[in-house]
Amino acid sequence: MKKSTYSIFLDEERCTGCTNCIKRCPTEAIRVRDGKAKILADRCIDCGECIRICPNHAPIPQSDSREKTKQFKYTIALPDPALFGQFKTKPSPRQILAAVLALGFDGVYEVAWAADAVSIAIREFIREHRGEGPWLSSSCPAVIRLIQVRFPSLTEQILPILSPVEVAAKLAKEETSWQLDIPQQEIGCFYLTPCPAQVTAIRAPYHLEHSYVDGALAISDLYCELREKIAGAREQGEPVKATALGLTWGRVGGQTRAVQSDNYLAVDGIYNLLQVLEEIELGKFDNNIDFLECQCCQGGCVGGAFTVENPFVARVTLRRMAGQLRPKLEAEKEQKVLEYNRKGYYRAEKEVEPYSIMSLDKDIAKAIYMVEQSEKILKQLPGLDCGSCGCPTCRTLAEDIVCGIATETDCIFKLREQVQSLAEQMLALALKVPPVTLVQRQIMKTQREVLELAKRLPPVLAKRNQKSNQKKGGEEE
């Protein structure tokens, strides 16, 4: 299993240790130690909940720098469908694509167009595996990592279909290499991403050994420049390839509409997802649903941490913009996608692996022993889950104590008990001290002086005196 990574970092200067983030984190991935929040890398899923709840803006999502584009001879921008919902000035999709190109890229390839193809691949997979669901959508990396961390038994239900951005990068490199005779390794594809989870997915892909995407640029970092470019952009260049169905992948419900499944469920928001996934894990759905669209952010990708527009406004904007495009793929193009799908072009190279972070040690016997110990410690804790110890719950504190990264006195209630007990013992000892007479004080003073003199003797001299004393003792006898 690969080492886990994440794309959200904490600014310690901004962090005040308020513990708001540890209570909000859905995977219990944050601790507060020495007054500062710390992220546990193997538990963080880049959902962005800590970013939304922190009043001091200490969690900072990371993306790639535009300097990285200079490493490639030919660069292609991959705009996410959510980007099209970020502009209140109501530019056309073609104007937005022209503005993206004007940022300095050599080409633009629409992720929404790849979403059209992926929708058909998903539809075909569900048709071939009807009754084996519910199949979980695989496009949101934060959801995939949530399943890996908290619902590992459901990883088998994740659709083995590549995400639209990976398909877009794959197609863009192949087509550009063939058209311009440029080696694919000299072509750099850069995703204009709405969330930090996509940055992590590129660095550590879950369906591929190596991502086709070479970098991820935050939409929020490019927004101001894009607005200026849009103001001067004209309806030029190639027409938009994506359909209305592909463009609406940026909002919740867009995938289910594009897949055209008649037995589906669309869920957005991390806590809504937790509830639904728990019910699926318990078998409550009983194969009543074929397809579950999972969106970590409220409203879908338009609510990502790297977006700038209000997600509700962005949803409406995206819906209106989709009305400017043709409703779906033509029959000829759909046949071509189906042909690619039969060859396995959109299929994942590997299955999603579960994370075994909940085990306390790799050695099963040791892990079982540690669980038993943590259960014993948990019984001694107050069970209030107050968070004042820097852990989200008393159970996580017990686990941290067993792992050696926390102590029992981190709990203020246990600390108060121990301080009170220590104070009582000191008081009892003080009451047992007998009255000290002048003679006793003189004896104690003499003893201290003798000890101080003994300490000053050099080791050799002390040894010689010891032998001399022994010899004298022998003569006297």
For residue range 84-132, what is the model confidence (pLDDT) as tens digits? 999 987 888 999 999 999 999 999 999 999 999 999 999 999 999 988 8
- Following DSSP, what letter does each residue of 397-430 receive, concatenated? HHHHHHHTS--GGGSHHHHHHHHHHHHHHHHHHH
Chain segment 325-334, per-residue pLDDT in tens: 999 899 999 9
Q: Residue 262 has what pLDDT?
A: 79
- Between the alpha carbon of residue 319 and those of residues 57, 169, 257, 312, the distances in Å are 31, 25, 12, 11
Query: Is 227 in contact with 87 (CB distance < 8 Å)?
Result: yes
Does pLDDT of 3 surpass 60?
no
For residue 347, the SS3 value is strand
Q: Residue 165 has what pLDDT?
A: 96
Query: Is 35 in contact with 17 (CB distance < 8 Å)?
Result: yes
Q: Residue 31 has what pLDDT?
A: 93
Chain segment 350-402, per-residue pLDDT in tens: 999 887 655 677 778 888 888 889 999 999 999 899 988 999 999 999 999 99
Q: Residue 461 has what pLDDT?
A: 42
Sign of CA dihedral 202, 208, 211, 212: negative
- Between the alpha carbon of residue 336 and those of residues 262, 328, 436, 438, the distances in Å are 24, 14, 102, 107
Average pLDDT of the chain to the nearest whole number: 87
Computed on alpha carbons and rounded to an integer, the radius of gyration of the chain in Å comes to 32
Binning pLDDT at 50, 70 and 90, where does residue 462 land? very low
Question: In 325-411, where does DSSP find H-type helix?
Answer: 331-342, 364-380, 394-403
DSSP state of 161: B
For residue 212, the SS3 value is coil
Does pLDDT of 464 surpass 60?
no
Binning pLDDT at 50, 70 and 90, where does residue 424 land? confident
Q: Residue 430 has what pLDDT?
A: 74
Half-sphere exposure of 402 (CA within 13 A, CB side): 22
| Length reported for the chain | 477
Q: Residue 447 has what pLDDT?
A: 67
pTM of the model: 0.82
Contacts of 304 (CB under 8 A, 6+ apart): 48, 82, 193, 194, 195, 219, 297
Q: Residue 460 has what pLDDT?
A: 46
High-pLDDT (> 90) share of the chain, %: 63
Count of other CB atoms within 10 angstroms of residue 330: 10
Chain segment 261-304, per-residue pLDDT in tens: 778 899 999 999 999 999 999 988 766 788 999 999 999 999 99
**Mean pLDDT along residues 64-90:** 93
| Amino acid, single-letter form, for residue 456 | R
Does pLDDT of 458 surpass 80?
no
Q: Return left, alpha or beta for 297; rule: phi > 0 is left, psi -120 to 50 is alpha, else beta.
A: beta
For residue 181, the SS3 value is coil
Alpha-carbon gap, residue 195 to 211, rounded angstroms? 17
High-pLDDT (> 70) share of the chain, %: 88
